[in-house]
Structure 1
Amino acid sequence: MATTQTTEVVRIRGRLLEEVAKLAYAGRLEKDIMGIMDSIVSEDGPRYRCCVHKERAVLRQRINLTLSQSLDISQEEAVAEALAGKVADVPWLRVLPEACDQCPIDKYLVTDACRNCLAHNCIHSCPKKAIMVVQNRAYIDKSRCVECGLCKKSCQYGAIIEISRPCERACAVGAIVAGGDRKAVIDKDKCVECGICREACPFGAIGDSSVIVQVIRQILAGKKLYAMLAPAFVGHFGPRTKPGQIVNAIKKLGFYAVKEVAYGADIVTLKEAQEFLDTVPSQRSVMTSSCCPAFISMIEKHFPDVKDMVSSTVSPMVATARVIKENDPEAVTVFIGPCIAKKAEARKYAELVDYTLTFEEVAAMITGKGLDIDLMLDDGFESAASGTGNGFACAGGMAEAVVAAVASLDPDAIVKPVNAQGLENCAEAIKQIRSGKIEANLLEGMSCSGGCIGGPGALGNVRVANKLVENFAKQSAAANASANEAAKTDSEKLGHLHR
């Protein structure tokens, strides 16, 4: 159940999650929390920082993050808060100050390739006179430099290079900058909590809060927890692991029942298809998807002028939670998927979605409880969702589902879909649609490359997962949402599902 690139950052994060889950299930978290420190960091190594004291300082903050508490309180306080069911009211993605201290702050750097040529193009191109020759080599005065990049462009030797932090480079919405103390700062007014920066940081200095302790606490209290399993689940617990084994492993964790978010995707598909027919082109020229919270957040924060394009229908996660809560008022709903942005979305729908976990966190819970998913019984799990509902996990899946549903409602309707993967491509697609360069009336936007299967909380290779999801979708009893009678019934019963 390892990721394709199992780096030391991934190993440390996974080890900590496993240890916390193990202690939480055993009821020993409060007593043995400091023991985690000794089991992961010791004088014998391995050493990733300058000294064991630095290692421990970083791990303390990781523990508090894993408990979903403030980074500034003690481990004992953090455990007490987590066991009380509390979740700190802070952004899900946070920078660990103790871990963020290694990246250069200077954006442009003169290398040894500088020949101190006669032309001095770098000096002449600088509008702020920030470049001079010092000891037979060009030197950039950082107090004058405005980081325009003209010096880099003008150097015929390519001796001036541009350096950017991996997290800053990965952020498509410019939400990460270097603070005065050289540590990364996330601008919450720009951040869409997609989680890409977490994967980009080679020091593991950015992390997402986890609610595994709060979820395990609910399980041990005997509450009726419903796992809402994202459509991407098929391809992320091992290429040979069967869907039935995954479902049974989750039940062994203590969940009362497992429900497919792909079924909610069928309900959303039916709603969005009708919304498309009702509003395009009579009220708007283009309708966008509403299933990816990071994509929606990007539009709200960075493209507010096109907010009217966004479908008013809730996401499949929210629709699934609504169905569960309607049928069982005592239900505690827990979304399980590859997405970090869903944690932020769940906070907006707290009355419907109680908790969210990533596949990575669930894998840690399975290991922490001493279970082996490959030894689980496979009793022939059959999907309650349609083929296109299960296909929501892959890039283009939502658009394909809506096109099929629109065709069943109105065969004469013209749908011109386009899908964009990754926030940079999503932003470009919005700009081109807005300027009329793309002739489309349905836009599917996914913040992650490959769609949901490429999310930061995923476990497997995107290409392998894509193929496994496609094969699983082909086995569905209903080809598309319009052929899923149960979903049609629930769609009619729930009425409006507005965001």
Structure 2
Amino acid sequence: MAISQVTEVVIIRNKVLTEIARMAYNGSLDKDIGSMPDTIVSEAGPRYRCCIHKERAVLRQRINLTLSQSLELTQAEAAAGALAGEIEDMPFIHVLPEACDQCPIDKFLVTDACRNCLAHNCINSCPKKAILVVQNRAYIDKTRCVECGLCKKSCQYGAIIEISRPCERVCAVKAIIAGSDRKAVINQDKCVECGACREACPFGAISDRSLVVQVIQQIKSGKQVYAILAPAFAGHFGARTKPGQLINAIRQLGFHAVQEVAYGADIVSIKEANEFLATVPAQRPYMTSSCCPAFVALVEKHFPDMTDCISSTVSPMLAMAQIIKNSNPEAVIVFIGPCIAKKSEARRNSALVDFVLTFEELDAMLAGKGIDISTLDDSEFQSAASTTANAFACAGGVANAVQAAVAGLAPAVTVKAHSTAGLDECANALKQIRSGTLEANFLEGMSCVGGCIGGPAGLANVRVAGRLVAAFANSSAAKSALTNKAAQADSEQPGHWHRQS
């Protein structure tokens, strides 16, 4: 496992994924799943919660979520459902109730630094008279407090602090709240499934459900299962891992073929450039990218008046899937990348993409089948995609590719592009471009800091991944979409090239 920050949460998640993949491959999942909580959590420890019974209760819920089954099922029922190919209809980002530590919900707290000063600025600033002095120290009456924060700002000692749950703090769209039992609740009407909350929760109480078993069953059934690799793949399996080694490893998992999603990015670059030329400014003042599903969800759910400005072109994942389906309608398509939001995008476009796996899940499948990438032959690998397409994985990559394509198609037209990475920055840019304070006619939005290389289910530090992806991109024979003749020809094929909301 080559994850940049290996915490206990990551270790447990990887253990569960690896063990389930191992059992699925050797055909023992239905027989051995019941004993899995006992083998991972033993009396000898390690212990993260109050008792071994709590540990196992949390683990049972994690196992069911990994199988994409209801948390209410027994382990045997969950395993049977996964082996049968069943997938529970529930969000991909999910709270494990047993694991949530019911973090405090008192937003403002008076600390021991309070000196009960004479000025009493906190009392004087409170519009609801919610602050009293009790036992020579300020006290906040929670029945009156409206959490305006004026007391904190006015205290010259800094004795009043603001507390927020880690999951709430990182959620740019305010989709997580404390429920009546103080456990975290995700508001699906606001959630864009970016996965930031999963990474922030120090208790491992938020996780994404997996389709590892369902994919393995498709492979074992003899179907032609295609793996399509996200452009970020070159940066997430270590500097010593060559692209050819990784592709050979994926084939050893039983995949029929491995294709690059970056090739689909070349097609998207051409189509978005043509869409830009046809619609900006004739039909709309600006256009945004549509590659990142979390960014698209941000616009659709939180800036609904701006949905007409989203590019109607499909994402590179869907474009690559369309190319494969054109040549092999019976193909089973599995996207593999660092993104959790892609799972929801695939569910909305199930006619093209059947499953989505993350790099974490791929890493666990390799470990579960005992495949060591470093021992495999490094067959010579030449990317079928251009330099600009392979750079889609990095912040600014989409904008650069579209600019290059527009310059080739219509040299007199200027693309004033602006790139944003991170949902907070995306939201700010959307507000600015809507109000006219941002001079841009093309907005690239990436929900993760650094772009796709910073995805929540990746395996590498974003800076390291960025350098590796850039080096791989520069090795491409074609330098832009318009010099990739094969992609140009494929972009003219019939198919579903328009994004569905």
Please give the range of the TM-score, normalised by the shorter of the 2 chains: over 0.9
Amino acid at match of 1:365: M
Measured in 2, the distance between the counterparts of 1:185 and 1:279 equals: 40
Question: Secondary structure of 2:357's match?
Answer: strand
Query: How big is the shift at 1:494?
Result: 2.8
Q: Is the 8 A contact 2:24 2:213 kept in 1?
A: yes
Query: How big is the shift at 1:4?
Result: 1.2
Amino acid at match of 1:440: A
Measured in 2, the distance between the counterparts of 1:79 and 1:415 equals: 52
Pair 1:62-2:42 in alignment: no
Q: Map residues 154-303 of structure 1 onto 2, 5 A cutoff.
A: 154-303=154-303
Query: How big is the shift at 1:35?
Result: 2.3
Question: Secondary structure of 1:334's match?
Answer: strand
**2:108 paired residue number:** 108
Q: Is the 8 A contact 2:322 2:496 kept in 1?
A: no
Query: How big is the shift at 1:495?
Result: 5.8
Amino acid at match of 2:150: L
Measured in 2, the distance between the counterparts of 1:169 and 1:368 equals: 35
Question: Secondary structure of 1:228's match?
Answer: strand
Q: Map residues 367-378 of structure 1 onto 2, 5 A cutoff.
A: 367-378=367-378
Question: Secondary structure of 2:491's match?
Answer: helix
Measured in 2, the distance between the counterparts of 1:425 and 1:325 equals: 36
Deviation sequence 1:422-470 (CA, Å, 0-9, x none)? 0000000011111111111110000000000000010011111111111
Query: How big is the shift at 1:130?
Result: 1.3
**2:423 paired residue number:** 423
Deviation sequence 1:375-402 (CA, Å, 0-9, x none)? 1111011111111110101000000000
Question: Secondary structure of 2:420's match?
Answer: strand
Q: Map residues 93-492 of structure 1 onto 2, 5 A cutoff.
A: 93-492=93-492
Measured in 2, the distance between the counterparts of 1:291 and 1:494 equals: 20
Measured in 1, the distance between the counterparts of 2:101 and 2:379 equals: 50
Measured in 2, the distance between the counterparts of 1:105 and 1:58 equals: 22
Query: How big is the shift at 1:281?
Result: 0.9
Measured in 2, the distance between the counterparts of 1:111 and 1:318 equals: 53
Measured in 2, the distance between the counterparts of 1:74 and 1:154 equals: 53
Query: How big is the shift at 1:105?
Result: 1.2
Pair 1:11-2:11 in alignment: yes
Query: How big is the shift at 1:102?
Result: 4.3
Q: Which of 154-163 and 126-135 deviates more?
A: 126-135
Measured in 2, the distance between the counterparts of 1:57 and 1:134 equals: 41
Deviation sequence 1:233-259 (CA, Å, 0-9, x none)? 001011210000110100000000001
Question: Secondary structure of 2:492's match?
Answer: helix
Measured in 2, the distance between the counterparts of 1:300 and 1:489 equals: 32
The structure 1 segments of at least 4 consecutive aligned residues displaced by more than 2 Å after TM superposition are none
Deviation sequence 1:16-50 (CA, Å, 0-9, x none)? 10000000000000000022212210111000001
**1:37 paired residue number:** 37
Deviation sequence 1:125-156 (CA, Å, 0-9, x none)? 11112111111111111111111111111111
Measured in 2, the distance between the counterparts of 1:361 and 1:484 equals: 32
Measured in 2, the distance between the counterparts of 1:356 and 1:239 equals: 25
Question: Secondary structure of 2:399's match?
Answer: helix
Query: How big is the shift at 1:6?
Result: 0.3
Query: How big is the shift at 1:496?
Result: 6.1
**2:494 paired residue number:** 494
Measured in 1, the distance between the counterparts of 2:102 and 2:365 equals: 32
For structure 1, list consecutive stretches of 5 or more residues without a partner in the other structure: none
Q: Which of 117-126 and 175-184 deviates more?
A: 117-126
Q: Is the 8 A contact 2:102 2:184 kept in 1?
A: no
Amino acid at match of 2:258: V
Q: Is the 8 A contact 2:61 2:71 kept in 1?
A: yes
Measured in 2, the distance between the counterparts of 1:475 and 1:495 equals: 30
Measured in 1, the distance between the counterparts of 2:176 and 2:270 equals: 38
Measured in 1, the distance between the counterparts of 2:63 and 2:140 equals: 41
Deviation sequence 1:157-197 (CA, Å, 0-9, x none)? 11000000000000000000111111000000000000011
Measured in 2, the distance between the counterparts of 1:438 and 1:148 equals: 30
Measured in 1, the distance between the counterparts of 2:415 and 2:378 equals: 40
Measured in 1, the distance between the counterparts of 2:101 and 2:233 equals: 36
Query: How big is the shift at 1:75?
Result: 0.8
Measured in 1, the distance between the counterparts of 2:410 and 2:33 equals: 60
Measured in 2, the distance between the counterparts of 1:442 and 1:308 equals: 13
Measured in 2, the distance between the counterparts of 1:330 and 1:435 equals: 47
Amino acid at match of 1:408: G
Question: Secondary structure of 1:408's match?
Answer: helix
For structure 2, list consecutive stretches of 5 or more residues without a partner in the other structure: none
The number of residue pairs the alignment matches comes to: 499
Amino acid at match of 2:11: R
Q: Which of 486-495 and 213-222 deviates more?
A: 486-495
Measured in 2, the distance between the counterparts of 1:140 and 1:359 equals: 46
| Identity, % of aligned positions | 70
Question: Secondary structure of 2:9's match?
Answer: helix
